């Protein structure tokens, strides 16, 4: 789904915990930069994943439909979309990663995928806090998930993006996503996971 806008932060200030250091080592293949690293999403991350889901679904920066009523975060948490994307998180096939700031130990973005309907590909959601956008965080999250899907015999990944979210659509296209279905204000895009890690790292 879409790269997001402003959202709440979580985590603690100060140095990295042992969990941060262990996670940093396990995902070393996808360093973000000196500013952040990736770690696998766990069930304790659900509150932050909910914030990222809200940000991706309702609050991404650059949204042009100001006439639409946008749900509050509390309304969204109780809605069908949040349940679909995160309800019962941790079930078989669910996988996600969190981008964590090296400086503060706080989460700054997330991406995950899960399968909603058996006959369709796994669907991906991604969001990055506004102040950390444009620094390669979203691309690193996406590349890691595509590589993970490839390694776990998931040949395709899909996502939904608003047609007027040109920045996100441009990134998705560079990473191999192609539009396959038009849903009025949204497009469904699909990418093959057979593209090599080396090829994706060029973007």
| CATH 3.40.630.30, applies to 18-155 | yes
Residues 187 and 160: their CA atoms lie apart, in Å, by 6
Q: How does pLDDT run across 137-195, given as a tens digit for each residue?
A: 999 999 999 999 999 999 999 999 988 888 889 999 999 999 998 888 889 999 998 75
Residues 76 and 200: their CA atoms lie apart, in Å, by 33
Confidence of residue 102 (pLDDT cuts 50, 70, 90): confident
Position 133 scores a pLDDT of: 87
Q: How does pLDDT run across 22-47, given as a tens digit for each residue?
A: 444 345 445 566 678 999 999 999 99
Position 196 scores a pLDDT of: 45
Spatial strand order of the sheet with 95-101 comes to: 36-40, 95-101, 107-114, 122-128, 156-162, 186-192, 178-183
Q: How does pLDDT run across 57-82, given as a tens digit for each residue?
A: 876 544 445 545 678 888 888 888 88
Domain boundaries along the sequence of the chain: 18-155
Token pair belonging to 44: 């304790």
Burial of 151 (0-12, 13-18, 19+ CB in 10 A): exposed
Contacts (Cβ under 8 Å, ≥6 apart) of 80? none
Position 73 scores a pLDDT of: 87
| Mean pLDDT taken over the chain | 78
**pTM for this model (two decimals):** 0.77
Evaluate whether 179 touches 187 at the Cβ level (below 8 Å): yes
Residues 187 and 182: their CA atoms lie apart, in Å, by 5
Which residues lie across from 112 on neighbouring strands?
96, 125
Position 11 scores a pLDDT of: 37
Residues 198 and 180: their CA atoms lie apart, in Å, by 25
């Amino acid at each position: 789904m879409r790269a997001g806008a402003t959202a709440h932060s979580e985590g603690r200030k100060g140095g990295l915990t042992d969990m941060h250091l262990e996670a940093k080592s396990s995902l070393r293949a996808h360093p973000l930069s000196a500013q952040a690293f990736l770690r696998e999403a766990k069930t304790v991350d659900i509150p932050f994943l909910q914030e990222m889901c809200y940000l991706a679904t309702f609050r991404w920066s650059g949204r042009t439909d100001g006439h639409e009523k946008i749900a509050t975060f509390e309304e969204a948490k109780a809605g069908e979309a949040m349940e679909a994307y995160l309800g019962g998180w941790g079930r078989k096939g669910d996988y996600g990663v969190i981008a964590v700031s090296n400086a503060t130990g706080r989460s700054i973005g997330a991406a995950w995928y899960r399968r909603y309907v058996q006959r369709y590909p796994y669907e991906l959601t991604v969001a990055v806090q506004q102040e950390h956008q444009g620094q390669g965080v979203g691309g690193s999250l996406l590349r890691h998930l595509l590589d993970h899907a490839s390694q776990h015999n998931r040949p395709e990944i899909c996502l939904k993006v608003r047609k007027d979210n040109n920045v996100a659509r441009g990134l998705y296209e560079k990473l191999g996503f192609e539009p396959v279905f038009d849903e009025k204000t949204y497009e469904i895009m699909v990418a093959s996971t057979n593209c090599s890690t080396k090829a994706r790292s060029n973007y």
